[in-house]
Amino acid sequence: MNKICIVTGGSSGIGLAIVKTFINSDYTVYNLDIQHSSLGHFIQCDMSDVEQVHQAITQVISKEKQIDVLISNAGIHRSANIENTSEQLLDEVFSLNVKGAYAVTKAVIPLMKKQGLGSIIYIASDQAIIAKTNSFAYNLSKHALASMAKTTALDYAKYNIRANAICPGTIETPLYHNAIDKYCNESGANKADVHAEEAALQPLNRLGQPEEVAEYALFLASEKAPFITGSLQLIDGGYTTG
């Protein structure tokens, strides 16, 4: 019997790579996303809407009767310091990045408790560890996910439910390219030059790839990582060691 994995925000970027990797490892994967995808079992869901999330998880449970892995990945990035962070922008970032993770975790926990097992993985960021400029709301949200991993790990360890956060550095995704495009449009910089500069900032002299994060998630979700919980797992090419 295949294990059941739920991925939020699995239609692009890191989430899409996770969906592919888990399907290739014989998981039955449900993708909760607002953007349609033909890969896995797609459920259209606005992750910032708690009721929609609850209904989506109820739908999965009615079909599968079990949930082995939850990967909370859905998120957005907005660049701004605190002065340029409006209340609307702050709410937008927290509604998806934090409230979405809260909603889906709360929805799957009762079944995982009943099963006596489960692995919950939050896709956080190196910004759960360090700060970066013009990233006030995003940085706050990723620290919140790190906290969620730790508190969930402690509260549910007695039910054999593990919770961890993966903290990627600069990963080459559509989100990354959109951010670079926006910067180049505003500054007039050359994209190839900016891309090369970003790569040079990494000790390994390249950007990370979504598939590398996906493989890390697969390991953390597996029986090969039974004693890992409440942890923040960096995958940043050495960026935060400096």
* Residue range 136-183, pLDDT digits in tens: 999 999 999 999 999 999 999 999 999 999 999 999 998 889 889 988
What rounded mean pLDDT belongs to the chain? 96
For residues 128-137, give the mean pLDDT: 96
Q: Are 211 and 21 in contact (CB under 8 A)?
A: yes
Which residues make Cβ contacts (< 8 Å) with residue 117, sequence separation at least 6?
Answer: 68, 159, 160, 161
* pLDDT tens readout for residues 2-37: 999 999 999 999 999 999 999 999 999 999 999 999
105: tokens are 């975790």
d(CA 139, CA 131): 7
Q: What is the pLDDT of residue 18?
A: 98
List helix spans (H) across 159-209.
174-187, 191-200
Over 80: is that where the pLDDT of 229 sits?
yes
Which structural domains are found in the chain, ordered by start? 3-170+209-241 (3.40.50.720)
Q: What is the DSSP letter of 168?
A: E
d(CA 9, CA 14): 9
125: tokens are 């960021």
For residues 92-108, give the mean pLDDT: 98
Query: Tokens 């999965």 label which residue?
Result: 60
Q: What is the pLDDT of residue 26?
A: 97
- The Cβ of residue 210 has, within 10 Å, a number of other Cβ atoms equal to 22
φ and ψ at residue 69, rounded to 5 degrees: -135, 135
Instruction: Categorize the per-residue pLDDT at 220 as very low, low, confident or very high, splitting at 50, 70 and 90.
Output: very high
Query: Tokens 């939850």 label which residue?
Result: 70
Q: What is the pLDDT of residue 136?
A: 98
Query: Tokens 């797992």 label which residue?
Result: 233
Over 90: is that where the pLDDT of 43 sits?
yes
Of residues 218 and 183, the one with the higher pLDDT is 218
Q: What is the pLDDT of residue 96?
A: 98
d(CA 119, CA 152): 11
Over 80: is that where the pLDDT of 242 sits?
no
Over 80: is that where the pLDDT of 1 sits?
no
d(CA 77, CA 198): 17
Q: What is the pLDDT of residue 142?
A: 98
d(CA 161, CA 118): 5
Catalytic residues: 138
Q: What is the pLDDT of residue 175?
A: 84
